[in-house]
Amino acid sequence: MKKFISKSLEMKKVCLIAAALLLSLTAAAQDEKLEVPEDELARESVLPVFDTTVSVKNRNVAKEGRIDVGIFGGLALTEPIAQTTKFGIEANYHFSENHSLGAAYSLNSSGLSKDAQGLKNDFGLDFNRAPKPLNTMMLDYNYSPFYGKLSVTGDTVINTTIYGSGALGMIKYEHKSYPALALGIGERFYFGKHLSLKLDFKVFAHQAPIPFKAGALRDGSEGANFQTDPIPALDSFSERVTYTTNLYLGLNYLF
């Protein structure tokens, strides 16, 4: 028992001595100063992407008081009967960097959609007898709260804006024109200070004729069992509020 106690006391002494040595070494290290030659010290900072901060802070594309014009193509994503493609022109005046007002005109492609053409081929239902949209004219207000910059290589910068839009206008069918409302969201990518690529998504709401009418669409072909319906008047089709989604891709030039 005495031997065990003596060994324990010796271990405590060893631990105390080791702790004292460690504290003395730490104090000595704190007293020493680390000296580095001045020619080895960094004298300038390097940005991770851009060479200067000016291109990051400044707005490269100024739009206030300027006009841009453009051409665009569109696709009606939820149109079941008429041809879904359209093409148009537009012009916008920028009151400020955030607000602009413009006018747009688009022309619908003639003919039937792929699904409507399939119904004609298989069942003899000719939707050319139903009224179809011809063109659209809208006044378009844009609000651009976000302005940013993109860089892929670090050498070039693409300026971009994200905007929301609200539009009022008319959609003309073969027999009648209907007031229309559209809400959307889009983004512009500027390649330089003038040319931009525009991606736009809009949802339209307007009164429109219902193309499905009993006793009016059979054209007498084999799919219709050789039965022919009398050609209906375009204004004889019932109407209802219709919602369509449209996707546009355009190219604009800022003057």
Residue 78 sits in a domain whose CATH number is: 2.40.160.20
pLDDT of residue 27: 55
pLDDT of residue 35: 66
With a cut of 50, which residues of the chain have pLDDT below it? Answer: 1-5, 7, 50, 53, 55-56
**Residue 107 resides in a domain:** yes
**Residue 87 resides in a domain:** yes
**Residue 209 resides in a domain:** yes
pLDDT of residue 46: 52
pLDDT of residue 55: 46
pLDDT of residue 77: 92
**Residue 56 resides in a domain:** no
167: exposed, middle or buried (C-beta count within 10 Å: 0-12, 13-18, 19+)?
A: buried
CA 188 to CA 106: how far, in whole Å? 19
Q: Determine the structural domain holding residue 172 and report its residue range.
A: 66-254
**Residue 124 resides in a domain:** yes
**Residue 192 resides in a domain:** yes
pLDDT of residue 166: 97
CA 192 to CA 172: how far, in whole Å? 37
pLDDT of residue 149: 82
pLDDT of residue 80: 87
CA 212 to CA 219: how far, in whole Å? 14
Q: What angle do CA 219, 225, 231 make, to 5 degrees?
A: 20
Per the structure, the count of domains in the chain is 1
**Residue 18 resides in a domain:** no
Question: Helix, strand, or coil here: 28?
Answer: helix
**Residue 193 resides in a domain:** yes
